[in-house]
Amino acid sequence: MTVQNEVHTGEPAKVFTGIRDVPIYAGESSTGNRLPGGPYRAPELIAIGMIVLPALWWFRTHEGTGFGVLGGAVVAAVLVTVILRMVLPKRRPSLSARVSFALTTILPKHACAARPRTKER
């Protein structure tokens, strides 16, 4: 591969062209640039954002408050993420499990914990 057209974007990336002259950008983004503990699912990212973003706003607008709010937000975000990882399933239930749930809901087994009545003589 040769460098044919250099595009100056202000970023540390260069444009390489392949066989079909499709631009391929090689630069700083790689699989190693992740947040610790990742990858995160959408509900986890939403929860982290809802906790950390208001804390960052508070920290930036109230300069004399110290790092207590920011530290508390980080601790809360870690706890919520751990809880979400324990509670939320990693994937959806299979079709057979869904059918089983539906049948159990529609046709529940009737059970009684008491002894059956007997005729007294």
DSSP classification of residue 116: P
Measure the CA–CA gap between 78 and 72, rounded to whole angstroms. Answer: 10
- Among 54, 56, 52, smallest CA distance to 73 is for 52
Measure the CA–CA gap between 55 and 74, rounded to whole angstroms. Answer: 9
Measure the CA–CA gap between 31 and 88, rounded to whole angstroms. Answer: 25
User: pTM (2 decimals)?
Assistant: 0.49
For 6-47, the pLDDT digits (tens) are 656 666 666 555 566 555 555 555 555 566 777 788 888 899
